[in-house]
Amino acid sequence: MTALLTNNLPLLAGAPNGIKKLRELILELAVRGKLVPQDRSDEPASELLKRIAEEKTRLVAGEGLRTTAREDVPEDEHYFELRRGWAYSRLGNLARFIDYRGKTPTKTKSGTPLITAKNVRIGFISREPREFIDEESYISWMTRGFPRQGDMLFTTEAPMGNVALIDISERFALAQRVICFQLHELQIGPFLKLAIMSTGFQAQLLDAATGMTATGIKSSRLKEIPVALPPLAEQHRIVTKVDELMALCDRLEAQQADAESAHILLVRALLDSLALATDFATSWQRLAEHFHTLFITESSIDALKHTQ
């Protein structure tokens, strides 16, 4: 499957919205275990989940952890058939939820950075817009827990379902509408991010959401959504392959942008020469012979419409 994708990337990317659809396809193949070969020597995900359960039990007893979900994931909640060594777990059993709801402290021009739902994009954290709260507000606000590098941020509303790994080393505060998943095993973060971004998880998210004007998800429902996890070694291979293929998509996207810019310049030059031509009929005939290759984008057609 990987070779088929790699060999046909330019063809797939050239279709309408091709690169966007290609990224979605790569992600979907990845989280279903169809992007890299399996290794029978990999420790099964069931063993990984046992260690995660042990850490969860320790946190419940020692730190009063409250984020827990039902243990069983019956077959009618499986959104695809698992591959060998994979296992389902509910999101609430993989992480502590640090959920800051309520009124966000007053923002200031400087101080401790504030990460809001606007900063959490699809797969990454943007530092724009930059907002801050003062030291006193930080101390009184951040009482439910502190996010760590490698944990995940998830937007519960406006927008709902964006997820990113925390790569910020400095201290920061979380605003409302953002949940921090403090993972019981940090190594699952990169794959779990892909799983949450996938159409299968996002469809479950929509099913569990509430609200009419502003759709959102409650923590009590979010923690019960199941996630399919591969063996940890396979997770690493999948994430590496996704990074490789997404980088190829980035290059194709850049090439397309360059090609489109060159195409626009060519069309404009040809239309300008047509407008200035003394023998319009002959010039138009030459242009018409290449019509099907020149006027294939909205911008080129608009330019043709405005040619006098």
Q: Is 219 helix (H, G, I), strand (E, B) or coil?
A: helix
Q: What is the reported pTM? A: 0.81
CA separation, residue 183 to residues 92, 123, 138 (Å): 10, 17, 23
Instruction: Describe the chain by its helix, strand, coil percentages, rounded to 5.
Output: 50, 15, 35
The DSSP bridge partners found for residue 229 are 87
Six-digit token string for 221: 């429902």
The DSSP bridge partners found for residue 132 are 108, 113
Instruction: Give pLDDT tens digits along the chain (308 positions).
Output: 555 555 555 655 555 577 888 889 889 999 999 989 999 999 999 999 999 999 999 999 998 888 889 999 999 999 899 999 999 999 999 999 998 877 788 999 999 999 999 999 999 999 999 999 999 999 999 988 899 999 999 999 989 999 999 999 999 999 989 999 999 999 999 999 999 999 999 999 999 999 877 789 999 999 999 999 999 999 999 999 999 989 988 888 887 776 666 656 555 655 555 455 455 555 456 555 555 555 555 555 555 555 54
Q: Beta strands 87-90 and 226-229: pairing type?
A: antiparallel
Q: Over 226-283, what HEC string results?
A: EEEECCHHHHHHHHHHHHHHHHHHHHHHHHHHHHHHHHHHHHHHHHHHHHHCCCHHHH
